[in-house]
Amino acid sequence: MALEYKPDLSEVIDRHRLLWTRKLSDGILARLDPAELPFDDPLRHCPDIERMAAAWDHNYWVRRSVQDDLLPVARVSFGSSAFGGFLGAQVQFDGGAGWSIPLLESYAGLEQLHFDPENEWIKKQQQACRHYLEVARGKFALCETEPMDGLNLVEVLRGGKVYLDLYDHPGELHSLLQFSVDFNIRLIEMQRQIIAPALYNEDGIFSLFRIWLPGRAPWMSVDTYGQCASAVFDEFGLPYLQQTMDYFGGGWIHLHSSATHLLPGITQLKGLLGIGIYDDPNALRGFELLPKIRKITSDIPLQIDCTGGELAAGLAQGSLPGGVMYMARKGIATIDDANRLMEQVRAYQL
């Protein structure tokens, strides 16, 4: 595969392969976002499929000369909060990504939940996948919409009641969590069948956080579990995430920096390819916690937010832990600055 918006695609995928197979413990990857480049959030145009795809096209076209490790991957998404629409919930849009009104008032309606190929939003998702593929061919890569794993889906369907359900309806909750596994697998496979020409490359797959992963591993999230104790995750999360990973042969986990208490459990997942820790405004940043995180995660590859200044200083001091993709979304002024910094990133070795 060749992509117009990533001229050095093969070389960058080789670097991703080393990282996500734990063969880059003494090196690093980096995403560098120059401030001079505009970014048009595709979700701002929801639910206009053509404008959403055009935004991705424009965003990757303007950064095609940035020589970093970001891969131009567009996710076909109306927003994670709109996920309930796939199950019949009412979806609303207000100047951005959609959100769905919780539809499961009680567990009496649990057995009515099912994957319906005729569902309005499932058909719209298929339509979006086909249109995105037309726009992306030969220019940028695609991935499926973000799945709603475990308690994430329960929160979409039940709202804030999810936290009471842990104590008031644990049995029914386990049934809904099993449904979430089966539903997400089917939805992922449906989308992948359509976008396959822009999704699979060599022996791996393009993934939501602008990366390439070996095999067929999906992006997975533990956002709702982050509001809970680790014991809740161990009982109501791990078994279901493991089922999904077993089905696809692996998985990649996203969490916020406020949820690092879940890391000991997450690291027990078999087939775990990597962990992305996204900075939460109400907690210490992942970069500040990195020494602690690395002790827990051992050699598991990581993706960590940082600033351009922090990355530059770490490169100069030789203090950046290896086996990490550093995401510098701020603190880099120009494309030339980014490319000069990338020369140091590629040469970095502990």
221 in a structural domain: yes
Q: Tell me, yes or no, whether 2 lies in a domain.
A: no
What is the structure's pLDDT at 82? Answer: 86
Partnered with residue 116 across adjacent β-strands are none
Distance CA 224, CA 41 (A): 24
For residue 1, being part of any structural domain is answered with: no
In a domain, 3, yes or no: no
> Which residue in the block uniquely carries the two structure tokens 């080393």?
18
Answer yes or no: is pLDDT of 95 > 80: no
- Domain of 130? 9-347
Residue 175 located in a structural domain: yes
| Confidence band, pLDDT 50/70/90 cuts, at residue 268 | very high
**DSSP state, residue 75:** E
- Indicate the pLDDT class of residue 21, thresholds 50, 70 and 90: very high
Give CA–CA dist 219/173, Å, rounded: 23
203 in any annotated domain: yes
**Domain holding 66: CATH number?**
3.20.20.210
- Residue 190: how many CB atoms within 10 A of its CB? 16
4 occurs within a structural domain: no
**Local structure of 187: helix, strand or coil:** helix
pTM over 0.75: yes
| Across 119-128, average pLDDT | 97
Residue 332 in domain: yes
Contacts of 328 (CB under 8 A, 6+ apart): 30, 31, 32, 33, 306, 307, 308, 310, 311
Residue 344 to residue 315: CA distance in whole angstroms: 7
Helix (H) or strand (E) holding 290: helix 286-297
Taking residues 234-238, report their average pLDDT: 98
Indicate the residue type of 45: H
**Closest to 63 measured CA to CA, from 144, 143, 139, 142:** 139
Residue 244 pLDDT exceeds 80: yes
Q: Looking at the 3D structure of the chain, how many domains does it have?
A: 1
